[in-house]
Structure formats: C-alpha cells, structure tokens
Structure 1
Amino acid sequence: MKTLILTALVMAFASPAFAADKCDVPTGQWQPREALQKKLESEGWKVRSIKTEHGCYEAKALDANGKKLEAVFNPKTLESVGADSDDG
C-alpha cells in the first residue's frame, strides 16, 4: 500500500508535459467522459467532475473510503497516468 501511495505522489508532482506525453491521442480516438465515469464508479469512486487538462481527462472524486482524489487518465485507454489524494 505504501508503494502505491508513493507512486501516486510521484506521479502527482510530475510536470504537465509528462501527463501530456501519456495522453498524446487524437481527439477522434477519445472515449467519452461517461465511459471514464462508469469505470470509476464501478471501482467504488463517487465522481465529482471530469474535465480535459493538458490533453488528458482529469477526474475529481471520492474513493470507496471517502478520500478525496484527483487523478489523470489517458482519454483513449482510460488508464491512469497520474494521481493525487488529499486526506483533509
């Protein structure tokens, strides 16, 4: 679990260029935001918002334990390319 948290923190402080490199996808290949929302909700997240940021999807949500999350996803694969969390 500590490794997962550490990885998330490292990814959170990566430059926007890093995330943009991971999301370098033509918009015609993007999945709809609703697909990402459905995926996250199936994992127990309560999605507050999904927006486009540096060519990626950025989701703000609460996880299954009520922890605030901010995560960045590749819009084609819906794979996470970075995350941030806030216990407060």
Structure 2
Amino acid sequence: MQKIIIALVVATAFSGPALASEKCSVAMADWQPREALQAKLEGEGWKVRSIKTEDGCYEAYAINADGKKVEAYFNPQTFQSVASKVED
C-alpha cells in the first residue's frame, strides 16, 4: 500500500503544472479576484502565504487545514482545485 501512495505522490508532483495548464483555459475577463480565492481558502482553515498566476491558473502556496505545506493550482473562474502538491 505504501508503494502505491508513493507512486501517486511522485506522479502528482511531476504532472501538477502540466495538469494545471490543461484545466485552466479561462478568458481573463471571467477570472475572479485572487482575494476571493484567498478568502475561500482561509475560510477552509488554510494559512495562505501567496497566490500568483501560473499557466493560466491561480497557484497558491499555503499551509492547509491539516498543517501541511501545499502548492495548489485552482481554476480562476470556479476556484476548483486542478492540481496540488503536499509537502510533509
């Protein structure tokens, strides 16, 4: 079971940005403000360090509600998570 989890983590780490760019083809006019994403994440218990634009997505660096460092990509129109990488 541990080998499967490690394989999934490795696959996610290398596919994150590529996956994000495929999922975030949204016209700039349809983007919500990054402050709205920050408010959403903070409402879910995250401590947001920064949010930037990367490959057509919002890329957030934060500490999630479980206390783990996260690099996560979000659709800028819906704020749906499209990829993430959790550090231990």
Above 0.5 in TM-score? Answer: yes
Aligned-residue sequence identity (percent) comes to 60
TM-score, reference length from structure 1: 0.82
Counterpart contact for 1:8–1:82, Cα < 8 Å: no
Number of residues paired by the alignment?
A: 85
Mark the CA change 1:69 to 1:17 in structure 2 (over 3 Å): closer, same or farther.
closer
TM-score, reference length from structure 2: 0.82
Counterpart contact for 1:60–1:71, Cα < 8 Å: yes
Which stretches in structure 2 are left out of the alignment for 5+ residues? 1-5
Compute the RMSD of aligned alpha carbons.
Answer: 2.4
Q: In 1, distance between residues paired with 2:16 and 2:63?
A: 24
Would you tell me which structure has more helix in proportion to its own residues? 2
Match in the other structure for 1:33:
34
Greater radius of gyration (CA)? 2
Which stretches in structure 1 are left out of the alignment for 5+ residues? none
